[in-house]
Amino acid sequence: MDWGNFFESVTSWIGAHGLRILLIISLSFLFYRLIKMALDRGLVRYVEFREHHHAGTREDRIKRAKTLASVLTGSVGVFMFGLTVFMLLAELGIDIAPLLASAGVLGIAIGFGAQSIIKDTLNGLFILLEGQFNTGDVVKVAGVSGNVEDLNLRRTVLRDLDGIVHIIPNGQITTVSNYTHEWARVNLNVPVAYSTDLDQAAAVINRVGRELAADPEFSPMIISAPQVLRVDNFADSAIEIKVLGDVHPMKQWPVTGELRRRLKKAFDEAGIEIPFPHTKLFFDDNQLDKYARLSFRSDAGRRSAEGGIKPIPPARDNLPPDTEP
């Protein structure tokens, strides 16, 4: 092998194509970085402009913008990678026209065979553009509740309270229940006994709600103090009082838990009973008389058997209708 000619041909090829290949790769990477930077900044400004009047915090809007930007930049990255590969193949002298035609035919075939993927992608796009939920939100979708750990155009990843990860295709999401969008609410039914003075109970609940809202630890979580809305229900063992209060997203659970704890202590101090189910049994007088006579016969028979005396059977007319002498 003539190494001199080999190195000469390699050097000639690098001189003719190497600089172009390096330029294609560098420009593609630079273009991708510029698009990513523009999307990161532009989407934050777009979301700020579009949702500045909403009650959500700026951190929530930035979170949504970053979620949308990460998905779009990922899609742009895939497109840029494919485009760069075709440009490099063309530079290497490979005819890409048949590849493009094959890719078109393959795309049509995949489109017919992967309609669910297309449905997932389109639904995911609408979820992101409409801001139905973002990474970090607590939602219920497709019958599953949990924290959104990841979101892209194809699927949503939830983790529930048991730590179980649920991967849900976006095409299966028809209804979204977002527990942490812009603001949340303490919604609690407080049961009290039927003998309770309802005005006193309402005063105690409102006082505890105001004290909770004034607490330095919980005041940053609360928008409006929990307070009595109405008498909500006459239950089997209690009267239920509806309590509502507005809080910041994801703070309804710690605030509700602390409210329950404080209400229990306040009710104990005020002598207000939080009832538990009671059951009352009623007996018919005729049935009680029947059971008493049967018990008497059984007891008399036992005592006579012990003493060797045969008891005198009662008259048939005095027996209950379903017994024998």
Output the domain CATH number for residue 154.
2.30.30.60
Within this chain, do residues 194 and 209 fall inside the same structural domain, yes or no? yes
**Would you state the structure tokens that stand for residue 182, as one six-digit string?**
């812009």
Point out the domain boundary residue: 178, 209, 235. Answer: 178
Whether the Cβ atoms of residue 32 and residue 84 lie closer than 8 Å to each other: no
Separation of alpha carbons 190 and 240, rounded Å: 5
Within this chain, do residues 10 and 89 fall inside the same structural domain, yes or no? yes
How many structural domains comprise the chain? 4
What digits encode the pLDDT tens for the residues 83-92? 888 777 777 7
What digits encode the pLDDT tens for the residues 101-158? 666 666 665 666 567 777 888 888 888 878 788 888 999 999 999 999 988 888 999 9
DSSP string, 102-139: HHHHHHHHHHHH-HHHHHHHHHHHHHHHHTS--TT-EE
Within this chain, do residues 314 and 213 fall inside the same structural domain, yes or no? no
Q: What is the pLDDT of residue 127?
A: 87
Residue 157: exposed, middle, or buried by beta-carbon count in 10 A (0-12, 13-18, 19+)? middle
Within this chain, do residues 159 and 223 fall inside the same structural domain, yes or no? no
Whole-number average pLDDT of the chain: 79
- Which has more pLDDT, 25 or 214? 214
Within this chain, do residues 142 and 106 fall inside the same structural domain, yes or no? no
Q: What is the pLDDT of residue 323?
A: 47
> Domain containing 80 — which CATH number?
1.10.287
Region 191-215: what's the mean pLDDT? Answer: 95
Q: What is the pLDDT of residue 146?
A: 95
Q: What is the pLDDT of residue 194?
A: 92
Region 159-180: what's the mean pLDDT? Answer: 93
Q: Is the pLDDT of residue 310 over 60?
A: no
Q: Is the pLDDT of residue 54 over 70?
A: no
Residue partners of 90: CB distance under 8 A and separation at least 6: 96
Q: Taking the model in full, what pTM does it have?
A: 0.61
> What confidence category does residue 197 fall into, taking pLDDT thresholds of 50, 70 and 90?
very high
Residue partners of 225: CB distance under 8 A and separation at least 6: 209, 210, 212, 213, 245
Within this chain, do residues 300 and 212 fall inside the same structural domain, yes or no? no
Q: What is the pLDDT of residue 265?
A: 96
Pick the closest to residue 245 from 256, 232, 234, 261 (CA basis).
256
Q: For 212-216, 234-238, 252-256, which range has the lowest pLDDT when averaged over its residues?
A: 234-238
> What confidence category does residue 23 fall into, taking pLDDT thresholds of 50, 70 and 90?
confident
What digits encode the pLDDT tens for the residues 279-288? 666 656 666 5
Q: Is the pLDDT of residue 325 over 50?
A: no
Q: What is the pLDDT of residue 125?
A: 82
> What confidence category does residue 182 fall into, taking pLDDT thresholds of 50, 70 and 90?
confident
Structural domain harbouring 86? 3-113
C-alpha 180, offset from chain centre: 9
Whether residue 167 lies inside any domain: the answer is yes
